[in-house]
Amino acid sequence: MSKIEADVVVIGAGASGIAAAVAAAEKEASVIVFEKGSTTGGAANMGMGFFAVESKHAKAQMIDLTLDEAFEFFMEYTHWHADARLVRKYMAQSASTIDWIESLGVEFLGVYKYFEKSFPTWHIVKVPGSNKPTERSASVMFKALTDRAAELGVDIKFQHDVKKIITDPSTGRVTGVSAVDADGNKIECECDTIIVAAGGFGNNPAMIKEMTGYTWGKDLYSFRIPGDDGDGVNMMWEAGAVKSPVNVELTYSTPGITDIFKTLSETMRQPNIMVNLEGLRIINEETMQNTTFTGNAISRQTDKIAFTIVTDEIIADYAKKGLDYITFHHNIKTVDKWYSEIEAYKTGGESETAGLSDLHGDDETSQVNFWEADSLEELCELTGIDYKTLQATINEYNGCAGKYDPLFNKHPKYMRAVKGKKFYAAAHRPCGYGTLGGIKTDDNLRVLNKANKPVPGLYSAGFDACNIFGDSYCFLLPGNTMGWALNSGRMAGYNAVDYLDSDDFVE
């Protein structure tokens, strides 16, 4: 076994870990980062941008959302279940984090909404040489942070899997970590502070089941990012951290279609009728752009499933006028590929627009989640939706076509009659980006024990420490998990070094 030492050890070089490492090294601490995989950036390499308020880009774009307004909105949204002091610090730092990232030579495309009713807070990273929003553009920023870490002397040990946080039994203070390298060699690193940034447990179905109740592959089809196995929260619990509730950063998807057949996927997410297996509407379908709210509504239904239904007449209308909703990141404006993608889906063909499909796992492509039929009755036979109730729901819905929706007050322009010669349905199921929480911190990112006191020297950031959303991720202020990861990492890095320089630290 080899022995090394550092002032600060960071577990995980994802979004929050690499930010924490750079921040701690800027304060002249010696920093060792252990990363299980072979890259930095973690799940955030798949993303495009992150939250900030009152940034110079927001000001230049005349966005008048203030820090106070964003904070108050957020706290009302969470019913003040979130740690107000921590949320305030995160949001107050967010504009300077944009400058911090820009100081590394990273550019931003601008500030965007994620959907019409959200706020413009999503700062999209620019891919050099391109002026278009690009999937995975955030990876540019993680390369820059990694270069900066190297410049500051941070030692990133790739393919090093941390197995245990070592504590002093008499004081509970952290004293080191033990890890294993790719060849199975043991390494022990002595240190005075540890920042755990290991990305939650989105890749651990057993922990997802235990902590959230979802069964991955049956009623949850969330992204499974290699490495995010729950090691961080498990090690912190073992080191004395109190367990806190965990949420999935919930969205919804049509397994086998979302991120694979983009025209089919985007068309079946337009604000057309959405029903459950009982044949009843469950949501004002205008809300479907808020993927978290829709995921919540779907999760309440029998078998956690809901269906949107369109007809050939609705598709013909979209062919003339274009889609109602265009998400700028997917940028599907027309139904030009509707019929060719249906054919490809049915025959197992490849889609030209395949995207992040490989991250959802294999199971979903073996299911059927999109159907076409010559009558509503046949569609019900195929999907299992109750025909009698659906017929009644559609009669009522069609009676309000283009008019006031007495059930959910959907805008008349989206009240398109469900009629035609062909009927299409897509199943929508809960999906997600990862898990939120598991441990509790104070507003300095210090990990708390059962007595609500800090475990001396132990800090956490990112998915592992993300307790700020109450029961549901706040998609209304977009970019909020990567924003949280970068800012909580940055704060944890600074605070860990301040602790070493303070009277609280006793060697």
Site stretch for ligand FAD (CB under 6 A), options 47-55, 62-70, 186-194, 209-217: 47-55
According to CB under 6 A, which one of 483, 487, 496, 497 is a site residue for ligand FAD? 483
According to CB under 6 A, which one of 46, 191, 260, 496 is a site residue for ligand FAD? 46
According to CB under 6 A, which one of 36, 57, 262, 416 is a site residue for ligand FAD? 36
State yes or no: residue 228 binds ligand FAD (CB under 6 A). yes
Q: CB 142 → ligand FAD: shortest distance, Å?
A: 9
Q: In this structure, are strands 155-157 and 31-34 parallel, antiparallel, or unpaired?
A: parallel
Phi, psi of 393 (to 5 degrees): -60, -45
Q: CB 242 → ligand FAD: shortest distance, Å?
A: 19
According to CB under 6 A, which one of 15, 277, 427, 497 is a site residue for ligand FAD? 15
Site stretch for ligand FAD (CB under 6 A), options 12-20, 53-61, 87-95, 267-275: 12-20
- Residue that is written with structure tokens 């912190």 in the block: 236
Site stretch for ligand FAD (CB under 6 A), options 143-151, 346-354, 372-380, 473-481: 473-481
Cα–Cα distance between 373 and 278 in angstroms, integer? Answer: 19
- Residue that is written with structure tokens 């090690």 in the block: 235
Structure tokens at 295: 């995921």
| 150 CB-near residues (< 8 Å, 6+ apart) | 156
According to CB under 6 A, which one of 140, 310, 482, 496 is a site residue for ligand FAD? 482
State yes or no: residue 481 binds ligand FAD (CB under 6 A). yes
Tell me the residue number closest to ligand FAD, measured at CB.
14
Q: CB 488 → ligand FAD: shortest distance, Å?
A: 8
Q: CB 233 → ligand FAD: shortest distance, Å?
A: 10
State yes or no: residue 480 binds ligand FAD (CB under 6 A). yes
Cα–Cα distance between 192 and 179 in angstroms, integer? Answer: 16
| 377 CB-near residues (< 8 Å, 6+ apart) | 387
According to CB under 6 A, which one of 26, 83, 161, 313 is a site residue for ligand FAD? 161
State yes or no: residue 281 binds ligand FAD (CB under 6 A). no
State yes or no: residue 256 binds ligand FAD (CB under 6 A). no
Q: Tell me how far CA of residue 60 lies from CA of 55, 108, 128, in angstroms.
A: 9, 12, 21
Residues 409-438 touching ligand FAD, rule: CB under 6 A, are 433-434
Alpha-helix runs per DSSP H in 239-386: 262-267, 291-299, 312-321, 338-347, 376-383
HSE on the CB side for 344, CA within 13 Å?
18
| 104 CB-near residues (< 8 Å, 6+ apart) | 141, 144, 145, 147, 148
Structure tokens at 243: 């367990």
Using CB under 6 A, list all residues that contact ligand FAD: 11-17, 34-37, 42-44, 46-50, 161-162, 197-199, 223, 225, 227-228, 231-232, 356, 433-434, 462-463, 479-483, 485
